[in-house]
Structure 1
Amino acid sequence: MNQEPIFILGAHKSGTSLLRNLFDGHSELFVVPIESHFFQHNGYWVDYGIRRKLPKALVGNEIIENYINWIKYVNSLSDQYADSDTKGFWNIEKFINEIKSYSDYMYLKTSIENYIHAMYYSLNNKKLADNLRVIEKSVENAEFANILKKLYPNAKFIHIIRNPYSNIVSMRKFKSRSGYPFLKPIIQSLYNNYYYLEKNQVTLDKDYLVIKYEDLVMKPKEKIKEVIEFAGISNEEITYTPTVNGEIWGGNSTTDVKFKDLSSNGLSRWITEIEPIEVNLVNKLFKYTLDRYGYETIENKSLVKFAKAEKVKVFIGNRLLIKYL
C-alpha cells in the first residue's frame, strides 16, 4: 500500500463525509467510502463517546471476523443519515476471500493494510495499485492520530470542525429518531474531538490541517485548493462534486434535504433549533473552542423548560450533566 495516506478527522455531523466524498474519483486516490474503524476492529480502547469500546485482546481470526461483519453490515444498511449509503456496493465473497488470504494480523499496520486491500478488491475487482494514496475517515481517528503517524510517518491529517452549537444540534437530531436523547454520549464525543484537536496540532504540526465546515461550504474553491495543496495531490474537477464510489452523493443531512452542491443555505438553521440545555453545555465545556475558532458565544438559556419531546428522566439526566461534567 502507498505509504502516504490522508486521514480525515472530525466529530459526527461536522462535515467529514462531505470532505471525504469531494475526493472520491480522484485519479491519484483510493477514497474508502465508509468509516473503517481500524482501531475498534483490532480491539483497541476507543474513548469517542458514541462509539466507545473497551480494549480487548484479539487474535487474527477475531479481527478478520470483525472486518467481515462490518462490511456485511454496511452492505446491507440503507440509512439516509449514515456516513455513506453503500448498500449493495460490496462484493462480499471477494472481500471474504481476500481478507482471509492474508495470514499476518499480529501487527496493527499489517492488519490495517490487509483490510484496505480487501475493501479495494471487493469494490473494484482488482488489486490496489501502489501509486494510489488512500483517504480514510473515521470519527475516532482524532484520538489515534499519533499512532497513525507512527505507522505512516508521511501521512497527512485534515481535521474539519463545525460551530459547536450547530454541531450539537445536528448530532442530537442524528441520534434522536424518537424523542429527545440523553446528551451524555454526544457531549463526550464532542469533548473527545476538541481535546485531541488541540493535542494533535502540537504533536503533528505541519502535517495537521484544520479547516472549518462553514468555510468549506461558503468558500469551496478556496478551501478545496488549500486542502489539495496541503495533501500534495493534483487539482482535478472531480474534487468539486461529492460522490461515493463514483455515484453522486445525496448527503446525510438531518434536514432530509438531498445534497445538490456546496451551499451555505443551511448554516444558520441551528439558531431556531437549538435547545437551552445545548447552549448551556456548549458554553460550559467548549468556550475555548468557540473563541479560538472565531465562533460567536450566545448567552446561556433557562434550563427550566423541557426540550421538545424530552421525557422526565432524560430531562433530569441532561440537567445533571451541567453540574457534573
Structure 2
Amino acid sequence: MVALAGAGGGGNLQSCPTLMMSLCTLPFEERACFVAGQAKSGTTLLVALLDNHPELLVLPEETAYFPTVLTKYAPRGRRAQFDYLTKQSLSNVLFGGPCKWGKRNYTTFPREKFLETFERAAFDPVNAEEDLLVLMVKAYAAMLGRSLDTVRRWVEKTPANRNHIPAILARFPHAKILVTIRDPRAILAAQIALEKTRKTGRFSTYYVIAHWCVAARLARRVADGEIPGFVVQYEDLVCEPAKMMEKVCAYLEIDFDRATVLTPTKVGQFWSGNSAARIHFSQISTEPVTRWQRELSEDEIGWVEWHCRDLMPEFGYEPRLTRRELRYFMRPIRGERPREYLKSRAYSLRDQITR
C-alpha cells in the first residue's frame, strides 16, 4: 500500500521563522499551489476547506489554465486566452457569466469590477510578459482587499492538472502540488448520480476509469518521491479531517487552525457542498465514503475493478470481486448511451492493446 502521508513540515510555523522568511522572499507568482486529481475525488472539498485560511488566496472556481488555456488557446493569442478564462471556463461565473453546473452565489462579489481589473492588467503593455493566471490571481486579491504580502500561497484547482504536472513545475518551479485520490467505485457511483441530474447524454464510463488510473499513477509517483507534492486521500479527508488538514497545512507551510480549515467556504461564505447525490451538509460527512456499496450493481463494480484492480490495493481499496469476467466489461452502465458505450469499450480495448 502506498504511504500517502509523506509530506514534511510541522503544523505551526510560528516556531519556524526561517521557514516563513524563505517563503515570503519568493516572488508572488512563485507562491503557487495547484490541486490535481479527478472529478468527484474531493478536489472541491479540499479547496473549500482551504478557502478561508488567512495565509492563502484560493481561486474558488476552476480555470483549466494548463489543460486548455495554455494548450488549445495558446496559438490563438492572449485575447483568445483571456476570453476563454472569462467567458468559457468554470471561472466565468466570477466575471458575471452563467453558471454551467450546480448553484453558485456570487451576488456579493464585484464581478464587473473583477473583469475590468483583470482585463486592464492583462492588456497593459507593462504586463505583456506576465502570466495571465498570475494576473487573474492578483486581480482577485484586489477584489478581496488582500495585500499580496499576506499571501503565503495562492491556490488554483483544476482536476485535469493531473495531466500537466511537468508543465506546471516548468512554469512554476516552486509550486506546491496537492493530488486527491478516491475509491474509483465511489467515483463511478457519483458520476452515475451526476448524470441523472444533468442528463448530458455524454456520460463516459471510460473516462471514469481512465482518469482514475492517471491520478493513481500520479499519486504513486508523489508518494514515492519522484514528483514533489502531497497526496490527499478522500476517505482520510472526510473521516479524519483535522488530522489530514493538519498535514496539508504543514505541507503548504502555513499555520493549522481547526476553526478555519474544518469549515468549507467559497469566497469566505459557508459552502454546503456539491454532492452528486444533491445532498447538502452542514459539516464534513463520511456518508459518501460507503454510498457506492449500496448504489452500484455487481456489474458496475466489475467494470471499475476490471480496469483498476491492479492499482486499487496500493491505496487500500481492496477489490470486492475475485476476478475479471467478460460480462463486467460488456454490460452497459446506468446512464450510458449507446454511442458512449461503444466509445468506452473501444477506448478500453485500445488501451489494453497499446499498453
Quote the residue 1:295 is aligned against: 317
Q: Deviations over 1:199-236 (max 9, x none)?
A: 5556754x311121111111111111111111110112
The question of whether the paired residues in 2 share the 8 Å contact of 1:180 and 1:308 is answered with: no
The question of whether the paired residues in 2 share the 8 Å contact of 1:117 and 1:127 is answered with: no
The question of whether the paired residues in 1 share the 8 Å contact of 2:32 and 2:155 is answered with: yes
| Amino acid across the alignment from 1:238 | T
The question of whether the paired residues in 1 share the 8 Å contact of 2:36 and 2:180 is answered with: yes
Secondary structure at 1:67 match in 2: helix
Identity of matched residues, %:
21
Is 1:142 aligned to 2:159, yes or no? no
Q: Which runs of 5+ in 1 are unaligned?
A: 45-53
Secondary structure at 2:155 match in 1: strand
The question of whether the paired residues in 2 share the 8 Å contact of 1:43 and 1:58 is answered with: no
Is 1:31 aligned to 2:58, yes or no? yes
Is 1:156 aligned to 2:137, yes or no? no
Taking structure 1 as the reference length, what is the TM-score of the superposition? 0.82
Quote the residue 2:249 is aligned against: 228
Instruction: Give the Cα separation in 2 of the matches to 1:80 and 1:290.
Output: 30
Q: CA deviation at 1:239?
A: 0.6
| Amino acid across the alignment from 1:157 | I
Instruction: Give the Cα separation in 1 of the matches to 2:108 and 2:214.
Output: 32
Give the root-mean-square deviation of aligned CA atoms: 2.9
Is 1:239 aligned to 2:261, yes or no? yes
Q: Which runs of 5+ in 2 are unaligned?
A: 1-27
Q: Which residue, 60, 64, 69 being the options, matches 1:42?
A: 69
The question of whether the paired residues in 2 share the 8 Å contact of 1:158 and 1:208 is answered with: yes
Q: Deviations over 1:290-309 (max 9, x none)?
A: 02111111215644655445
Instruction: Give the Cα separation in 2 of the matches to 1:27 and 1:204.
Output: 31
Q: CA deviation at 1:318?
A: 4.7
Quote the residue 2:288 is aligned against: 266
| Amino acid across the alignment from 2:57 | F
The question of whether the paired residues in 1 share the 8 Å contact of 2:36 and 2:157 is answered with: yes
Quote the residue 1:130 is aligned against: 149
Quote the residue 2:187 is aligned against: 167
The question of whether the paired residues in 2 share the 8 Å contact of 1:183 and 1:318 is answered with: yes
Q: CA deviation at 1:319?
A: 4.9
Secondary structure at 1:35 match in 2: coil
Instruction: Give the Cα separation in 1 of the matches to 2:39 and 2:276.
Output: 12
Secondary structure at 2:173 match in 1: coil
Query: How many corresponding residue pairs?
Result: 310
Instruction: Give the Cα separation in 2 of the matches to 1:292 and 1:218.
Output: 19
Is 1:249 aligned to 2:268, yes or no? no
Quote the residue 2:238 is aligned against: 217
| Amino acid across the alignment from 1:221 | A
Taking structure 2 as the reference length, what is the TM-score of the superposition? 0.76
Secondary structure at 1:130 match in 2: helix
Secondary structure at 2:301 match in 1: helix
| Amino acid across the alignment from 1:268 | T
Change (3 A) 1:67 1:318: closer
Instruction: Give the Cα separation in 2 of the matches to 1:63 and 1:192.
Output: 26
